[in-house]
Amino acid sequence: MLFVQVAGKWRVSLYQKRDVIERPMTLLSAGTIGGEGRAGVVFEREQNLAP
């Protein structure tokens, strides 16, 4: 699992570490998910990554 720091708190990403290592530029920005104020990480090919 990949640990990312968002909004001052450590969270575990839902993506495998190898996906980030192989595509370092895939990580674009951090923001909220669903407009509910939950911090998350946005990937350009999020829908293509294996769960």
How would you write the pLDDT of the chain (51 residues) with one tens digit per residue?
455 555 555 455 555 555 554 544 444 444 444 444 344 455 444 445 555
Q: Which two tokens stand for residue 31?
A: 């923001």
Percent of the chain with pLDDT strictly greater than 90? 0
Q: According to the model, what pLDDT value does residue 8 have?
A: 52
How many domains, in total, are found in the chain? 1
CA distances from 22 to 17, 31, 48, 49 (A): 9, 22, 14, 12
Q: According to the model, what pLDDT value does residue 4 have?
A: 57
Q: How far is CA 39 from the centre of its chain?
A: 10
The domain of 13 spans: 3-48
Q: According to the model, what pLDDT value does residue 43 have?
A: 47
C-beta separation of 27 from 41 below 8 A: yes
- Would the CA dihedral through 44, 46, 50, 51 be positive or negative? positive
